[in-house]
Amino acid sequence: MPLANGIYKIKNVRTQHYVALCNEFNDLVASEHINLNHEEWQINFYSDNKCCTIQNCVFGTFAGRPQRPSDLYVNGTEKRYLWKIKEIDGSLAIHTSGVEIYWCFEKNRINAQVVLRHEPPESTYYLWILEKVGAGQNVLQSSETFHVARQKWTTDNKAEWERMHKLLSEKLRQVPKATSISDHICLGETRVSLLSRISDWTKTTDISAKEPVYWLTGPAGAGKSTIACTVARQAQDQGMTVSCFFLHRDSHDRRDPHLVVDSLAFQLAHLDVGIADKIVEALMNYPDLVSSPGFYDKFSKLIVEPVKESGIAVLLVIDDLDAL
């Protein structure tokens, strides 16, 4: 069932209730049909329609998973959170982009919360119908409802975002294939101990007690790339800001250190407005920065300084460094 970017209502097959958001950061619940526009969601697809964001049209916040993995409720969040939608028997299942954890209503009643369940979608509580009610627009490009961490872009500053996006696209050379997270992730119940250690490291909030780099080594074919993809997926599922680059020794573009920086910076700018501001500022203040042969200076001004000044935690996943 091909789906396109647009404004949708999300209805449960069994309960016939629509998913609504009653407050900016509340849990998603079965609608009371009082504020009907709270039931409308902008859905934007990325990565060849493999992943999507689900954004409430009233509040601008995104359907996301809580920071704590033990929390099972889907709620409103400032960060763009990636979901997947797949067809099952003519209906749809919505699940996390990494390990498949599915949306379902907790109970068959008004105000029942949308919860996450690991079980396969055999019950119709897991199945949904997407009713398209508007054409919608690309959130990143149009900014009608563009909302990322700590700042909302509205029609009042649409032109400003479009100017920034144009500058970023012109100045930063991107390697799209190198920044897409592969679907080849670790199978369930494999690499559990290692993934748990890395996950604990990513969640450490005390910077003074945390090494800034987690270095994973091993012989060729040991599965390092699969682990890197899994870590990135899991971090996204937990609502973290994640930027990736997967190097490849047989591709010139995917082993050029300057393109690594450009691609990471471009991703980060589209994940957080605060970071975007600082990257654009660096590009304006240092017009020769992109063409400069100085790798350290470029990495510092386009990655390190913007992230530090934004005040948010960012996970950079760079795979196959020895290909440089």
Q: Is the pLDDT of residue 110 over 60?
A: yes
Instruction: Give me the CATH number covering residue 63.
Output: 2.80.10.50
pLDDT (mean) for 296-306: 94
Q: pTM here? A: 0.58
Q: Which of 88, 72, 83, 82 is nearest to 13 (CA)?
A: 88
Are residues 63 and 201 part of one domain? no
DSSP 8-class letter at 307? H
- Of 90, 125, 148, which closes a domain? 148
Confidence of residue 294 (pLDDT cuts 50, 70, 90): confident
* Final residue of a structural domain among 102, 127, 148: 148
Across residues 68-85, what is the average pLDDT?
77
Q: 134 and 256 share a domain?
A: no
Q: Is 311 found in the same domain as 174?
A: yes
Domain-embedded: residue 64: yes
- The answer, yes or no, to whether residue 320 has pLDDT greater than 70, is yes
Pair 125, 181 in one domain: no
Residue 144, pLDDT > 50, answer no
Q: How far is CA 321 from the centre of its chain?
A: 23
251 and 313 share one domain: yes
Instruction: With respect to residue 181, please indicate whether it lies within any of the assigned structural domains.
Output: yes
What confidence score (pLDDT) does residue 156 get?
Answer: 43
Same domain as 204, residue 105: no
Tokens encoding 52? 């999507």
Average pLDDT over residues 264-285: 88
Q: Are residues 255 and 308 in the same domain?
A: yes
Q: What is the pLDDT of residues 201-232, one digit of tens each?
A: 887 756 555 678 999 999 988 999 999 999 98
pLDDT-above-90 percentage for the chain: 31
How far apart CA 319 and CA 260 sit, in angstroms, is 11
Strands 51-56 and 19-21: unpaired
Question: Are 219 and 239 found together in one domain?
Answer: yes
1 within domain boundaries = no
Q: What is the DSSP letter of 113?
A: B
User: What is the reported pLDDT for 195?
Assistant: 92
Interval 127-136: pLDDT, tens = 999 999 887 5
Number of domains observed in the structure of the chain: 2
In a domain, residue 143? The reply is yes
Residues 49-68: what's their mean pLDDT?
79
DSSP 8-state code for residue 24: T
Of the residues 132, 148, 164, the one at which a domain ends: 148
Establish if 57 belongs to a structural domain.
yes
What's the mean pLDDT when you consider all of the chain? 81
Calculate helix-pair angle for 158-171, 257-269, nearest 10 degrees.
170
Is the domain of 31 the same as that of 97?
Answer: yes
Q: Which two tokens stand for residue 306?
A: 């913007």
pLDDT for 205: 58
Query: Quick one: 181 and 206 in the same domain?
Result: yes
Determine the structural domain holding residue 237 and report its residue range. Answer: 156-323
pLDDT at 120: 60
User: CA dist 19 to 7, 119, 149, 207, 210, Å?
Assistant: 13, 20, 23, 38, 39
Query: What are 159's two structure tokens?
Result: 């032109």
Question: Is pLDDT above 90 for 276?
Answer: no
**Predicted confidence band of residue 141 (pLDDT cuts 50, 70, 90):** very low
Residue 156 backbone zone (phi > 0: left; psi -120 to 50: alpha; other: beta): alpha
Tell me the pLDDT tens digit for each residue of 2-13. Answer: 678 888 999 999
Task: Tell me which amino acid residue 226 is.
Answer: T
Shared-domain flag, residues 180 and 258: yes
Residues 132 and 213 in one domain: no
